[in-house]
Structure formats: C-alpha cells, structure tokens
Amino acid sequence: MSISIAGLIGAAIGLYVGWIDYKIVVGVLKGAAERQRQRTGRESLLGRYMGAIRIVVLGFALIGFPAVGYFAGSALAG
C-alpha cells in the first residue's frame, strides 16, 4: 500500500477540521454543564463526566477526521 500525497493533504485538512470540531463541541458541552449547575445549584452528570467526554471527543477528532480526510483525498485525487 503506497501513501498518496493527496491522501496526506486530506488527512491534514481532516486534522484541522477535527481540532475545530473538538473546540466547538467541548465549548458547547461546557456551556450546557455550567447552565445546569447554575440552574440546580449542584454539579450535573454532564459536569461530573466532562473529563471522560473530552477524551472521547478528542480521540475521535484526532483519529476519525484525519482518517476520513485521508480516504476522501486519496479517492478524489487518486
């Protein structure tokens, strides 16, 4: 299996998009957890597991998006 330049460019773009997606998703989840904490006065389930959720989202963003980008780049450009 040879590595294509188009696939590597697609993976780099996928990594960038994944990083942006990670920042957006974590920001939205932090905001939701903060609103729940302010409304109820105690930490919610989302706030309790925020660390684990961040790791899962980061793992998908750093592995899933570049993999899809690589395959899309190599399929579209050869």
Residues 32-50 pLDDT 10s: 999 999 998 888 888 899 9
* CA atoms of 69 and 13, how far apart (whole Å): 7
List CB contacts of 13: < 8 A, sequence separation 6 or more. 69, 73
The model's pTM? 0.84
Instruction: Say whether pLDDT at 16 is over 90.
Output: yes
